[in-house]
Structure 1
Amino acid sequence: MSHPHTHSPGPSADASVRTGRTTDAPAVGLVQATVWTEAYADLLPREAVDQFEGPAFASVWRHSLEAPPTPVHRLLVACAGDQVVGFAAIAPADEAEPGVPAGAGELTVIAVHPDARRHGHGSRLLNAVGDTLRANDRTTLVSWLPATDEATRAFLDTAGLHPDGAWRERVVGPEGQTLREIRVQAGL
């Protein structure tokens, strides 16, 4: 006997993280422009935020992907199906900075498009960052973020990245305006 209200499971979300390719540059640029415009609108001078354009970011990413400065430099992308919805970039950390141990890697940026948040993409990206850095013999993860970015700070805190007491003022405006950043870190 057939049951008219029995449903087969629907398609599951095809979510993944992979190493970025040069062909991902336009999508990564769009995600970065969208996320940064949202995140920095109240933190940076208007003329700086107006410069956040997908094609400009895409050009920088394309160049970086074509000629990474070191083997540790890597772009990881989060995908929903074939669509790039987030990214994370890693690099060797500046071990000359006080408090940065030898063998540290840096998460230079992590971003997920606002329409794709709360689907696990950020967590998958952060896990892939840790795995990739460990595979490159890195033992510590550090990252800098705006002191007022409570959402990213809370996200990184749940992953074990905690403020280590370091802070810096980054020049962000044409007239010397600064943005305070704090450093978080965790052992890998």
Structure 2
Amino acid sequence: MADVSVRAAREGDADEIGRIQVETWRTGYGSILPDPVLQSLTPELAAAAWRDAVLEPPSPRHHVLVAQEQTWTVGFAGFGPAADTVAAEPPTGDADPAEAAPAEDAVPEGTIEISPLLVEPRWGRRGHGSRLLAAVVDHARADGMQRAIVWIPEADTASREFYLSAGWAPDGLVRALDTGAGELREVRLHVSLAES
């Protein structure tokens, strides 16, 4: 069995996290993100941003984790309290609560957002993504969070299938991001962090 683990990121991990992000986006999102966006990404810029996220997180509930296989860093996840939650509004009139769309964040302050969770493609299909996701959920529960969300590109079927297979579901929200070189549509998935 391979020596695999997930741990909190340290300052020295930032360069590898930046490299993994750029390589993974260029490989996995080559047909999803506009070429100018992909070309503007550099490992150095990404590493600087991740170094800041590791050393000076916005709150104690913001975390960066890395997945390792033996001595190699093979993936990472960044997450923290969600910044784009939707205030819950009760259905009006005779509306069926089950048909209310989109699903609102009943407790916005108890919601975390994963942004992003990536495993370098050459290390895929070895359980690293699942281990990272399980560690994210464990940390979020320890922080008292009740729900998790993630935005993924609408065309990213691999990520969608990964989250769906882990029990996540679409919550009805879609957004369009202006990348400066075209529009990127994203869908939001969610899961309850309540332990069953």
TM-score, structure 2 as length reference: 0.86
Tell me how far apart the structure 2 counterparts of residues 52 and 96 of structure 1 sit (CA, whole Å).
Answer: 27
Q: Which one of 56, 59, 62 corresponds to residue 67 of structure 1?
A: 56
SS of match in other structure, 1:50: helix
Partner of 1:134: 141
Q: After alignment, is 136-145 or 94-103 more displaced?
A: 94-103
Deviation track 1:66-118 (CA, whole Å, cap 9, x = no partner) reads: 11001111001000112110001111013642412321111110100111001
Tell me how far apart the structure 2 counterparts of residues 95 and 116 of structure 1 sit (CA, whole Å).
Answer: 31
Tell me how far apart the structure 2 counterparts of residues 137 and 62 of structure 1 sit (CA, whole Å).
Answer: 25
Q: Which one of 169, 180, 187 corresponds to residue 185 of structure 2?
A: 180
Unaligned 5+ residue runs, structure 1?
1-11
Cα distance, 1:187 vs structure 2: 0.3
Structure 1 residue 119 corresponds to structure 2 residue 126: yes
TM-score, structure 1 as length reference: 0.89
Aligned length in residues? 175
Q: Which residue type is aligned with residue 100 of structure 1? A: D
Partner of 2:31: 42
Deviation track 1:6-52 (CA, whole Å, cap 9, x = no partner) reads: xxxxxx31100001111100110111011111122222221111022
Tell me how far apart the structure 1 counterparts of residues 86 and 127 of structure 2 sit (CA, whole Å).
Answer: 32
Tell me how far apart the structure 1 counterparts of residues 180 and 37 of structure 2 sit (CA, whole Å).
Answer: 7
Tell me how far apart the structure 1 counterparts of residues 164 and 35 of structure 2 sit (CA, whole Å).
Answer: 30
SS of match in other structure, 1:59: helix
Query: Percent identity between the aligned chains?
Result: 37
Cα distance, 1:53 vs structure 2: 1.7
> Would the aligned equivalents of 1:36 and 1:52 in 2 still touch at CA under 8 Å?
no
CA RMSD of aligned residues (A): 1.2
Tell me how far apart the structure 2 counterparts of residues 109 and 23 of structure 1 sit (CA, whole Å).
Answer: 19
Partner of 1:3: none
Partner of 1:155: 162
Structure 1 residue 32 corresponds to structure 2 residue 21: yes
Q: Which residue type is aligned with residue 161 of structure 2? A: A
Partner of 1:9: none
Q: After alignment, is 134-143 or 93-102 more displaced?
A: 93-102
Unaligned 5+ residue runs, structure 2?
88-103
